Structure 1
Amino acid sequence: MSANLYALGAIALWASLASLGVSLTHVPPFLLTGIALIIGSVPAWPFVLRDPSQWRIPLRTLALGVYGLFAYHFLLFIALRHAPPVEANLVNYLWPLFIVVLSPVVLPGVALRLPHVLAALLGFAGAAIAIAGGRELSGTLAWGYVPALAAAFIWATYSLMTKRVAAFPTTAIGLFGLVSGVLSLLCHAALEPSVALQPRDWALLAVLGLGPLGASFFLWDKALKLGDARHIGILSYITPLASTALLIVVSGRPFSASIALATVMIISAAVMGMRAR
């Protein structure tokens, strides 16, 4: 149960990502990501100052962390620039499905049963309805869908592979974020124009860094360490639903029938997956 609570905490924080991002659309994406990830690493600093050994992890483990945090966001932002955002985001939300179906491939001793598969597919269908708002996908063949699919694969495999490397303290997530943030800033310097940030921008970046691009990663790591990756993957389908619902509240749009249907489908998928033994 504690693993599910940690996962729900991460999901709640990720749900605010889109709403916060709307207020920072004028900030280049790599600059936004770099600053937010570095700020997100700050909560780990006091623990590391008391015990520096918590960041003395194998290079392989650090490479996995950078693979997850930096490569995922790099590919996601590329996708959002070169494909319709709604459809690209939908492709990105294949990662919960990947977590469920790749669990028996990546993790030894984990079996995938039919209820897990059905729950994953039902959850993805609900996520699709939540994100697309009941509209048909454009069907446009944009190459940006390729990095979106790659981003989904990276986050799923990163999440699963954290159970395959040598055990590391959750505070090491701060090192992942710090290194990934620096790499993002290097990408900004090389690829994006410089901008002047206002005090309000810094305040929003602090909230973004301490929440969706900070604390969420620590909570997610604890959830994966304590729980069943298949169940957590299915539970993750709440993320696009919660994100869409929050955007509706912020924008003042009415709660549509498609969102109501998505709610039923996602909750049903989560219950089905949790009850599978």
Structure 2
Amino acid sequence: MTRARATAIGFVAVLLWALLALFTVGSAPTPPLLLNTLSFGIGGLVGVVWALVTGSGRALRAVPLPVYLYGTLGLFAYHLLYFSALRLAPPAKAGLIAYLWPLLIVLFSGLLPSEKLRAGHILGALCGFAGAAMIIAGRGDAGAGGHLAGYLLALVAALTWASYSVLSRLVGTAPTASVALFCLGTSALSLPLHLIFEETVLPDTVIGWASIAGLGLGPVGLAFYVWDIGCKRGDIQLLGTSSYAAPLLSTLALVAAGAATPDLTLLWAALLVTGGALIAARASFSVG
């Protein structure tokens, strides 16, 4: 597989993740740990099918246990933080903050062997961060609305996913099919914690159940398998910068579905994040 093809496959995950916020909102009032349990259970089954179709199941036996622990904890932590953030703060705004992870991937990837940061990457990253800062500093929003906790959780989620994505290059020998066990492990880890810390609340509408199924099949299912291929075999800086397209798509999806109200803060934040993508992506295509 060529690097360009692997990068294109990885970008499919960005398109699927653009629906993550919408499906998360649609799954309410399901609490975060229970949502982890259900959606990753479905995502794990998607991975089992992936392994059967690709014939990669046998290779799973050779994967070291620390790799499985690393992958499981990464998926578990990020999505618990993300689901919690969107329950505690306006989904579109919290989602944009969580989408600082592409910015952080670009910066963190500069620490990897054979990778190089350019001025355009840093400028684009600053634009994206400025958009997120507008949300946190929005007049009266975080304080009066009690949304600061949700915004902070979204920021920690961004740090978590960026670290997971970049460090996955260091465990590149693990087959993509291993993500199936990461998902099943996340589901298994979430269930007992849900029973201890949360009240079981399931959707009472078709939309609610469809949203959970959509999460498991797409944003927390197929997306991980194609993203894993992109991070390990593709251009990780280009993937990180092109991922800035997802915040705008995610915001548009929420607004179109009536799950978010457009305002000037949201508009400018989305434009800054997307503008950062254009600047950083151009730097990725330039000659070093």
Deviations 1:157-187 (A, max 9, x none): 1101111125111111111001011111222
Displacement of 1:273 in angstroms is 3.1
Going from structure 1 to structure 2, the CA distance change for 1:110 and 1:51 (only over 3 Å counts) comes to: closer
Contact 1:72 1:155 in 2 (8 A): yes
Residue in structure 2 matching 1:5, options 1, 8, 15 = 8
> Which deviates further from its counterpart, 20-29 or 116-125?
116-125
The correspondence of residues 106-185 of structure 1 with structure 2, limited to 5 A, is 107-125=112-130, 132=135, 136=139, 138=141, 140=143, 142-143=148-149, 145-185=151-191
The residue that corresponds to 2:19 in the other structure is 16
> Which deviates further from its counterpart, 221-230 or 197-206?
197-206
Counterpart-to-counterpart distance in 2, 1:137 and 1:94: 22
Going from structure 1 to structure 2, the CA distance change for 1:128 and 1:233 (only over 3 Å counts) comes to: farther
Displacement of 1:246 in angstroms is 1.1
Aligned length: 274
Displacement of 1:77 in angstroms is 3.5
Counterpart-to-counterpart distance in 2, 1:240 and 1:215: 19
Structure 1 length normalisation: TM-score?
0.84
What percent of counterpart residues are identical? 38
The residue that corresponds to 2:40 in the other structure is 37
The residue that corresponds to 2:214 in the other structure is 207
**Unaligned runs of at least 5 residues, structure 1:** none
Contact 1:126 1:265 in 2 (8 A): no
Contact 1:41 1:214 in 2 (8 A): yes
Counterpart-to-counterpart distance in 1, 2:279 and 2:153: 27
Residue in structure 1 matching 2:77, options 71, 76, 92 = 71
- The code of the aligned residue for 2:161 comes to W
Contact 1:127 1:266 in 2 (8 A): no
Specify the SS of the correspondent of 2:117: coil
The residue that corresponds to 1:186 in the other structure is 192
Going from structure 1 to structure 2, the CA distance change for 1:79 and 1:252 (only over 3 Å counts) comes to: closer
The residue that corresponds to 1:60 in the other structure is 66
> Which deviates further from its counterpart, 207-216 or 75-84?
75-84
Aligned CA RMSD, in angstroms, stands at 3.2
**Unaligned runs of at least 5 residues, structure 2:** none
